[in-house]
């Protein structure tokens, strides 16, 4: 059972070779292992393979895992799921990063709820580039105002942008979409020098994302294999 180790090795190789192809340094691209629905035994294997940053989508599940690994201070936990305001406190109290801030109200709650003994919460603004009404993320025309407001909140640190583009299988179109996002990022960064993170790219489009300038890849299935939501659901019921 060395698959997870092997997968992490392969993904890292892919990041390195793709970065070389576009004259970037592999160290510019953080590998976030998306461990949603995965048991702690799978996360343990990833840790043994040298993985440190993990992404979770469901607040309760993520918090349970953070508690499980609380003694390992080298780990960094990112919340990457849709954030409901009644769950914001758990995110503020447990995670190092939140990728899915898309309105001022949730930002203000996270700011108020971030414990004083923790460092400021790193946040990314999620933008909705394809303007699909069923997707979360802020519309482009509201981006500047939200960035300005977040910068007045002392317990949050605006680090950049996150985007989940509509599924696109054609490489050239993936690349075009991603490059458009990179331009938006660069424009905003002119006013916010501290912004250093562009969270872009998943298992199926990581090569295009690196070419377009992603600094953080959110990789789930290429590391852990296909997600088994059935086992996940059963496990959640058992816990109750």
Contact footprint for ligand PLP (CB under 6 A): 34, 36, 57, 80, 164, 202-204, 218-222
85/106 Cα distance (integer angstroms) = 6
Is the CB of 198 or the CB of 202 nearer to ligand PLP?
202
In angstroms, give the least distance from the CB of 233 to ligand PLP.
16
In angstroms, give the least distance from the CB of 212 to ligand PLP.
16
The residue sitting closest to ligand PLP, measured at its beta carbon, is 220
In angstroms, give the least distance from the CB of 36 to ligand PLP.
6
Under 8 Å between Cβ of 105 and 127: no
Q: Count Cβ atoms below 10 Å from residue 115 Cβ, excluding itself.
A: 12
In angstroms, give the least distance from the CB of 191 to ligand PLP.
26
List all residues 6 or more positions away from 111 whose beta carbon is below 8 Å from its beta carbon. Answer: 121, 153, 154, 155, 156
Query: For residue 158, what are its two tokens?
Result: 């605006």
Is the CB of 113 or the CB of 203 nearer to ligand PLP?
203
Is the CB of 182 or the CB of 218 nearer to ligand PLP?
218
Under 8 Å between Cβ of 46 and 33: yes
In angstroms, give the least distance from the CB of 2 to ligand PLP.
20
45/223 Cα distance (integer angstroms) = 11
95/78 Cα distance (integer angstroms) = 6
Is the CB of 33 or the CB of 110 nearer to ligand PLP?
33
In angstroms, give the least distance from the CB of 98 to ligand PLP.
12
Neighbour-count burial for 131-165, b at 16+ CB within 10 Å, e otherwise:
eeeeeebbeeeebeebbeebeebebbbbbbbbbbb
In angstroms, give the least distance from the CB of 225 to ligand PLP.
9
Query: For residue 61, what are its two tokens?
Result: 């599940």
Is the CB of 145 or the CB of 221 nearer to ligand PLP?
221
Is the CB of 7 or the CB of 155 nearer to ligand PLP?
7
Is the CB of 201 or the CB of 213 nearer to ligand PLP?
201
How open is the CA angle 56-191-117, to the nearest 5 degrees? 45
Q: In the structure, how many helices (H) and strands (E) does the chain have?
A: 10, 8
């Amino acid at each position: 059972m060395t698959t997870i180790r092997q997968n992490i090795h392969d993904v890292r190789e892919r990041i390195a070779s793709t970065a070389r192809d576009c004259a970037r340094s592999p160290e510019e691209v953080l590998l976030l292992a998306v461990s949603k629905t995965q048991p702690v035994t799978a996360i343990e294997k990833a840790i043994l393979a040298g993985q440190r940053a993990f992404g979770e989508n469901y607040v309760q599940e993520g918090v349970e895992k953070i508690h499980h690994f609380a003694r390992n201070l080298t780990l960094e936990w990112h919340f990457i799921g849709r954030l409901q305001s009644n769950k914001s406190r758990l995110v503020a109290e447990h995670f190092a990063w939140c990728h899915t801030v898309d309105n001022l109200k949730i930002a203000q709650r996270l700011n108020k709820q971030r414990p004083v003994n923790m460092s400021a919460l790193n946040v990314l603004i999620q933008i909705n580039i394809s303007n699909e009404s069923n997707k979360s993320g802020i519309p482009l025309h509201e981006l500047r105002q939200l960035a300005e407001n977040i910068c007045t909140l002392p317990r949050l640190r605006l680090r950049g942008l996150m985007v989940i583009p509509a599924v696109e299988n054609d490489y050239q179109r993936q690349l075009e979409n991603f490059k458009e996002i990179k331009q938006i990022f660069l424009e905003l960064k002119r006013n916010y020098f501290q912004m250093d993170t562009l969270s872009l790219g998943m298992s199926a489009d990581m090569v295009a994302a690196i070419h377009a300038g992603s600094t953080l890849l959110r990789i789930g299935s290429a590391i852990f294999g296909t997600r088994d939501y059935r086992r996940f659901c059963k496990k959640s019921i058992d816990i109750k």
